[in-house]
Amino acid sequence: MEPVPRGVVSRLPLYYRALALLDQEKVPLISSQDLGARLQLTPAQIRKDLSYFGRFGKQGRGYNVKRLLLELRRILGLDREWGMALVGVGRLGRAILSYGGFNPQGFKVIAAFDTDPSQIGKKVGNLTVQDFSEMPAAVKSKRLFIGIVAVPPPQAQGVINQLVSAGVKAILNYAPGQSQVPEGVHLREIDPVMALQSLTFYLKNTQEKAAR
Amino acid sequence: MEPVPRGVVSRLPLYYRALALLDQEKVPLISSQDLGARLQLTPAQIRKDLSYFGRFGKQGRGYNVKRLLLELRRILGLDREWGMALVGVGRLGRAILSYGGFNPQGFKVIAAFDTDPSQIGKKVGNLTVQDFSEMPAAVKSKRLFIGIVAVPPPQAQGVINQLVSAGVKAILNYAPGQSQVPEGVHLREIDPVMALQSLTFYLKNTQEKAAR
């Protein structure tokens, strides 16, 4: 199979979400035209993105919503539960631990680590904070495939390197910066600035109107 | 001017970032083909997205990187500083206040609010936490155009409603859920699950290989 470009992979959850909504609305079929209108992508972009995974749509009939939804679920690996290791239980880490959106989607923080002796051994929710030096053993024994990095930005690269050494192949970094991962390891960053940069598009217009 | 679809607006920061990088690399011109290859979008998608804002590329020559970068800066309203109001100075709010990525991009938290009496009046960084009831006056006097919501999910909609009443037109919500805003107000959510859902694509392949 042709390797799927990163940009395509990062759009798949958008498709997944749109299709889940369509399925809830009991829409049985959708054309690439209509799906494109929902996601503001050209129909050709949608057909190209999905073509990496085989032929889903029937010429002129559109995509079977239920079938494509199930396929995307399988393609994205969302048909199982994923254990995650959290590194950093400061303010941000604790906020992440109390975030209620992970579990319903099959993502579960199984172990939490810190290097701060005053944190180690403390209960946070139903987890006990462990020494970061215990991370590699826990990753193996508990099959933690995902690492969440919630340490201050200057420490992020070091933590990422150690997660990678321990065998973690996917990392979600809350400290966006210039972090690097070797080939075969995948990194995503929570980037609030990008969200803000699309909001100001609208504000700028509002401001300009107000100034007229 | 034709209204620009939300999906297009949310892709503009991606273009902006890619062009800023190209400019750093001293690349003077880029074709929609090459820009597409960097962003894994079809050249037609890129041309269509940018066509909402006028004609940038010369047929057969590609886009002038510096010019398009400046245009996007102006289009996205990134050529000025934006004052923000933070609501919620619990763990998450404090993590947001100490986040170093906003200021270099022109985003600045100017005021922070909470309803918890034990927080009000406390210093956090160089801000003093104010009573949430003071928010509407501060939004007006300090021209805070952006609200950041960092309260527990069940409280998010109430806070959003009050920000909207106070005249805030753009909201970044760290408590993703089913929050609604009226027309003319724009909402973005920090959604870690979407990032995780594209990571598991790679893990699933790794797992399957390991199982063989």
Task: Tell me the CB-side half-sphere exposure of residue A95, using CA atoms within 13 A.
Answer: 23
pLDDT of residue A210: 55
Query: Band of the pLDDT at B210, cuts 50, 70, 90?
Result: low
- Report, as an integer, the average pLDDT of B174-179: 78
Ranges of beta strands (E only) in B6-94 are: 29-30, 63-64, 82-87
ipTM of the modeled complex: 0.87
**Cβ proximity of A28 and A66 under 8 Å:** yes
The torsion angles phi and psi of B123, rounded to 5 degrees, stand at -85, 130
Average pLDDT value for chain B: 90
pLDDT of B142 above 60: yes
CB contact under 8 A, A172 and B188: no
CB contact under 8 A, B193 and A101: yes
pLDDT of residue B10: 87
Alpha helices (runs of H) in chain A, residue ranges in sequence order: 6-24, 32-39, 43-51, 65-75, 91-97, 135-141, 153-165, 192-211
Point out the least confidently predicted range of B8-17, B52-61, B88-97: B52-61
CA distance B73 to A60: 41
**What residues of A are in contact with residue B5 (Cβ under 8 Å)?**
40
CB contact under 8 A, B7 and A40: yes
Tens-level pLDDT at each residue, chain A (212 residues): 568 888 899 899 999 999 999 999 999 999 999 999 988 899 999 999 999 988 776 667 889 999 999 999 999 999 999 999 999 998 889 888 988 889 989 999 999 999 999 999 999 988 999 999 999 999 999 999 999 999 988 899 999 999 999 999 999 998 777 788 999 999 998 889 989 998 999 998 766 655 54
pLDDT of residue A116: 96
Report the residue from B5, B44, B192 with minimal CB separation from A190.
Answer: B192
Q: In sequence order, what DSSP letters do the residues of A68-89 get, joined into one string? A: HHHHHHHHTT-SS-EEEEEE--
CB contact under 8 A, B10 and A90: no
CB contact under 8 A, A202 and B10: no
pLDDT of residue A55: 75
pLDDT of residue A156: 92
**What residues of A are in contact with residue B12 (Cβ under 8 Å)?**
197-198, 201
Query: Band of the pLDDT at B211, cuts 50, 70, 90?
Result: low
pLDDT of B178 above 90: no
CB contact under 8 A, B13 and A198: yes
Question: pLDDT tens, A85-132?
Answer: 999 998 889 888 988 889 989 999 999 999 999 999 999 988 999 999
Query: Band of the pLDDT at B57, cuts 50, 70, 90?
Result: low
Identify the residue among B40, B107, B139 best suited for mutation to test binding to A, counting A beta carbons within 10 A and taking the highest.
B40
CA distance A26 to B67: 46
